[in-house]
């Protein structure tokens, strides 16, 4: 905790509120994901196994496919109105979605309308979670200085995993104890409301306020207008800064790794557990509960490593190990002998997952401040949406023709692109270090 001793009380409070808010937001988001094996049977028409898989994939992807729309909306809000507003609005949206799902009639009661309504709720949850995670990452990047910035932002991944872990814990408790599944969503709605209220205590980030001050000053100088506090908003024109397209593309490539690994670890093997090992829906939830525990523990360890080494080194190590695992994955699956063997494979995927964390603060500081929320949100949402569509639907059809070796068509390019992105940002950091060293050298004593 020595790195945080230099932080002000306000900064520590902001870190705490954002961690709690991220936990609550992802608890609500993953609650349906981990209960999907049960809820899909309630809200969607039952058919043959292949049709059921496609319907489940559609429900899963609906959470992410409309995220680019949310990225445009909340990106504009975050860059023009403020980072704080984005965070509060997204948490409120999640609460409303949970209330709707807690009261939603099943397919047996209202027919296909149930499937449409639950899909719309999942869309709103996906949009709100997109704004939430980017808003929290940028807020900490702009308020906490290096080196405390790295573990502070990396701990968001721990809060994320803890939210998913408690979501699956609640799902496991509800399904194994015979409680009505609606209680889980009512609980999710309550925690989202609490998170929204708590975040009203946040203040706007200094970098955003300074950027707005400089932007307004520049526009006044360029137009030869005197400052008018009443008409000040009318002077808010776009302030141009150069954008490195290679840097944006690298961030997109890095963002593609997480959805692939999550889908492989928590979704892809569910049919195998059902068909080959006779698992029920409750058994799969319990199975994924222990897998989520490993994921959370791994995030805690990685956050601790940020105290000792540069976060890009952690990402590079996971990228190399992840590529090796993707190469060997079809062979490991072919030699499955038990559910414990399968769990070990899933645990390996979780451990070497191709995540944006813990280096997200490194990536974000190479984006121009005036469009930081927009660029990060759009790239984040498009990478997640495209990869979840590719994995959810692509692996169904690739599996029919190529078996598990069809994984290579998706996993190997994704892992290689991830490493390309990490190496690009590593070169940017080296260039930045050389600039800082030159400035220090030239600075008069």
Closest CA to 142 of 207, 76, 209: 207
Residue showing tokens 């990536």: 363
For the chain, give every domain's residue range.
2-204+240-442, 208-239
| CA dist., res. 420 & res. 425, Å (int) | 9
What's CA 16's distance to the chain center, in Å?
A: 18
Provide the pLDDT for residue 114: 80
Per-residue pLDDT of the chain (445 residues), as tens digits, is 455 566 677 777 777 777 776 777 677 777 776 666 667 777 766 655 556 566 666 666 666 677 777 777 777 777 777 777 777 777 777 778 778 877 888 777 888 788 788 778 877 777 776 666 777 888 888 888 877 888 888 888 888 888 878 877 777 777 677 667 777 778 777 777 776 777 677 776 766 667 666 665 665 555 444 444 433 343 334 345 566 789 999 999 999 999 899 889 988 888 888 888 888 877 887 888 889 889 889 989 998 888 888 899 999 999 999 999 999 999 998 888 889 999 999 999 999 999 988 898 899 888 887 788 888 888 888 888 888 888 877 877 777 778 788 899 999 999 999 999 999 999 998 887 776 566 655 555 5
Q: How many residues does the chain have?
A: 445
Provide the pLDDT for residue 260: 92
CA dihedral 279, 282, 287, 289 (to 10 degrees): 170
| CA dist., res. 124 & res. 126, Å (int) | 5
| CA dist., res. 316 & res. 368, Å (int) | 24
pTM of the model: 0.76
| CA dist., res. 78 & res. 374, Å (int) | 7
| CA dist., res. 143 & res. 80, Å (int) | 18
| CA dist., res. 185 & res. 97, Å (int) | 9
- Choices 3.50.50.60, 3.40.50.80, 3.90.1150.10, 1.20.1250.20: CATH for 2-204+240-442: 1.20.1250.20
| CA dist., res. 380 & res. 131, Å (int) | 10
| CA dist., res. 147 & res. 49, Å (int) | 51
Q: Which two tokens stand for residue 377?
A: 């949100």
Q: Residue 444: exposed, middle, or buried by beta-carbon count in 10 A (0-12, 13-18, 19+)? A: exposed
Q: Assign 308 to helix, strand or coil.
A: coil
| CA dist., res. 254 & res. 414, Å (int) | 9
| CA dist., res. 424 & res. 444, Å (int) | 33
Q: Assign 244 to helix, strand or coil.
A: coil
| CA dist., res. 83 & res. 79, Å (int) | 7
Q: Assign 357 to helix, strand or coil.
A: coil
Radius of gyration in angstroms for the set of CA atoms belonging to the chain, rounded to a whole number: 23
Which helix (DSSP H) or strand (DSSP E) does residue 365 occupy? Answer: none
Provide the pLDDT for residue 49: 56
Residue showing tokens 């401040």: 369
**Cis before 147 (ω within 30):** yes
Closest CA to 256 of 352, 380, 154, 135: 380
Provide the pLDDT for residue 390: 86
Answer yes or no: are the C-beta atoms of 35 and 183 closer than 8 Å: no
Backbone conformation region of residue 336, classed left if phi is above 0, alpha if psi is from -120 to 50, else beta: beta
DSSP-derived letter for residue 349 is: H
């Amino acid at each position: 905790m020595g790195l945080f001793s230099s932080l002000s009380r306000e900064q520590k409070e902001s870190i705490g509120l954002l961690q709690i808010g991220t936990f609550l937001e992802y608890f609500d988001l993953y609650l349906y994901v981990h209960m999907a094996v049960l809820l899909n049977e309630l809200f969607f028409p039952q058919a043959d196994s292949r049709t059921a898989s496609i319907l489940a994939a559609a429900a899963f992807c609906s959470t992410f496919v409309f995220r680019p729309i949310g990225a445009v909306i909340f990106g504009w809000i975050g860059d023009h109105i403020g980072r704080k507003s984005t965070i509060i609005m997204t948490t409120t949206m999640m609460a409303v979605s949970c209330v709707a799902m807690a009261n939603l009639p099943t397919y047996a009661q209202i027919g296909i309308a149930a499937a449409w309504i639950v899909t719309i709720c999942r869309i709103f949850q996906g949009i709100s979670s997109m704004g939430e995670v980017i808003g929290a990452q940028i807020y900490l990047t702009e308020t906490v200085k290096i080196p405390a910035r790295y573990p502070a932002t990396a701990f968001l991944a721990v809060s994320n995993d803890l939210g998913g872990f408690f979501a699956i814990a609640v799902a496991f408790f509800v399904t194994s104890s015979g409680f009505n599944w609606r209680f889980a969503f009512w609980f999710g709605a309550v925690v989202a409301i609490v998170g929204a209220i708590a975040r009203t205590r946040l203040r706007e980030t200094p970098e955003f306020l300074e950027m707005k001050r400089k932007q307004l000053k520049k526009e006044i100088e360029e137009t030869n207008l005197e400052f008018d506090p009443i008409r000040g908003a009318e002077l808010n024109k776009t302030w141009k800064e150069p954008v490195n397209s290679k840097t944006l593309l690298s961030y997109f490539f890095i963002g593609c790794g997480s959805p692939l690994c999550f889908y492989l670890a928590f979704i892809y093997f569910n049919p195998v557990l059902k068909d080959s090992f006779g698992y029920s829906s409750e058994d799969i939830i319990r199975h994924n509960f222990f897998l989520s525990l490993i994921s959370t523990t791994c995030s805690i360890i990685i956050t601790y490593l940020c105290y000792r080494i540069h976060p890009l080194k952690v990402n590079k190590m996971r990228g190399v190990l992840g590529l090796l695992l993707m190469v060997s994955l079809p062979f490991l699956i072919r030699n499955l002998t038990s559910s414990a063997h399968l769990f070990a494979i899933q645990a390996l995927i979780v451990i070497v997952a191709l995540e944006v964390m813990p280096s997200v603060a490194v990536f974000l500081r190479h984006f121009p401040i005036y469009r930081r929320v927009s660029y990060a949100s759009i790239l984040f949402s498009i990478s997640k949406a495209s990869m979840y569509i590719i994995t959810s639907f692509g692996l169904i059809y690739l599996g029919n023709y190529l078996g598990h070796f069809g994984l290579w068509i998706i996993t190997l390019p994704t892992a290689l692109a991830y490493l390309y992105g990490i190496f690009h940002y590593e070169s940017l950091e080296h260039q930045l270090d050389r600039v800082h060293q030159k400035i220090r050298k030239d600075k008069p004593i």
